[in-house]
Amino acid sequence: MAEDILTTVLAFIYTIGHWIGEMMVGLIHAISGVTIPAPIVDAIGLLVILTIFLAIAEVAKKAVWIVVAVGWILIVIRIAILMIG
């Protein structure tokens, strides 16, 4: 059961990667006229997917730091209010 789900997810990621790779190769060909070999299409697509995941992780990492910083600021303000009054 778990192998079927894993196989399905990996097949989906591979399919999306191949589709994105074809789009990128088409774009590169339209811009530069260079013909890129077919075996590189999948690699390009999977690298694009990895890049997107890394960008999302980086944004999420920054958002978490902002939430933590705001949390500490609010705690310090709360402690200061308790000390004052």
- Which parts of the chain have pLDDT scores under 70? 1-2
What pLDDT score was predicted for residue 1?
66
Q: Give the closest residue to 46 by CA, choosing from 6, 18, 24.
A: 18
**Total number of domains in the chain:** 1
Q: Whole-structure pTM over 0.85, yes or no?
A: no
What pLDDT score was predicted for residue 62?
92
Provide the 3-class DSSP secondary structure of residue 37: coil
What pLDDT score was predicted for residue 85?
79
- Full residue range of the structural domain in which residue 21 is found: 2-84
Q: In the chain, how long is the greatest CA-to-CA distance?
A: 73
What pLDDT score was predicted for residue 34?
86
Find out whether 67 and 39 touch, Cβ atoms under 8 Å: no
Which distant-in-sequence residues (6+ apart) come within 8 Å of 25 by Cβ?
Answer: 36, 40, 41, 44
What pLDDT score was predicted for residue 48?
93
What pLDDT score was predicted for residue 19?
95
Provide the 3-class DSSP secondary structure of residue 33: coil
Report the alpha-carbon distance of residue 82 to residue 61 in Å, rounded.
32
